[in-house]
Amino acid sequence: MVIVTHGSRFMRNATRARVHKEQLRRHGIRVLGDSANGERRSERAFCGGMFELIDQLESETNGVRARAGMAENARQGYFNGSRPPFGFRVEKIATSAGPKNKLVIEPGEAELVREVYRHYLAGSGAKSTARHMNQRGLLYRKHLWTRDLVLRVISDSGVVCGCAATPGRNSGRLPSARSSWRVCCAAHAAAIPASSKARASSIRTANPIATKIAAASVAAARKPARATESLSKRWMARS
């Protein structure tokens, strides 16, 4: 074992130091630095800061690559989520890159979406549409329709028109603005025509109260995913 007062006392040239340490290691000899406690603490703090920066860089790089992969996945017409939107089901597709999810129309649910649109476009409000669906025994995935569910279908139905969207980069814990989403239209079959979606959107926009309710409904639907993401970020920050 070779003990030096400081690592720089062994050799100041990093390349030569690594070469000679490797040669000594092959003969069973280790090179250790015997710095003062204060120097050790400052070195540990410096190394800890360096590792934290490396971890942050690695995390951000992984995020950029993941978003790019999701955007390309959506561009090719594949589904990035786990729970399909109402009116669709997920079908596994074998590709050269492995199995991928594709949205295909679920006939039963798609007919309910069309019925919601027909009633809503006829001039009924969201609450009246929900009452109409419930009275006919037409349920939303085994649940009674509510005003919020009707507005969710009406307001968050870009995918129902055959468009696949990928969220852009988030800033901290804030959800990304929809203007930053990458949207790929004609990604899959449409459950309703784009003209019906446009008419429903204009009706909804003309009613400011319904617009606020719809925004709150969509936000509530996304809240569990945000909470999971926030918890994951806090855990990574502590580790």
DSSP string, 141-177: TTB---HHHHHHHHHS-TGGGT-EEE----BTTBPPP
Are the C-beta atoms of residues 93 and 102 closer than 8 Å to each other?
yes
Q: Which pLDDT does position 147 carry in this prediction?
A: 92
Chain center to CA of 216: 19
Q: Which pLDDT does position 47 carry in this prediction?
A: 76
Domain extents for the chain? Answer: 2-62, 106-238
Per-residue pLDDT, averaged over 130-145, amounts to: 94
**Taking each helix axis from N to C terminus, what angle separates 126-135 and 147-155, rounded to the nearest 10 degrees?**
110
Task: Pull the structure tokens for residue 232.
Answer: 């994951």
pTM over cut 0.85: no
Residue 79 or 35, more confident: 79
* Fold exhibited by the domain 106-238: Hect, E3 ligase catalytic domain fold (3.90.1750)
Q: Which pLDDT does position 42 carry in this prediction?
A: 67
- Res. 128 pLDDT band, cuts 50 70 90: very high
Residue 223 or 88, more confident: 88
Per-residue pLDDT, averaged over 112-132, amounts to: 91
pLDDT averaged over every residue in the chain: 74
Q: Quick: pLDDT tens for 194-207.
A: 778 788 878 877 76
- Residue 170, pLDDT above cutoff 90: no
- Res. 115 pLDDT band, cuts 50 70 90: very high
- Residue 160, pLDDT above cutoff 70: no
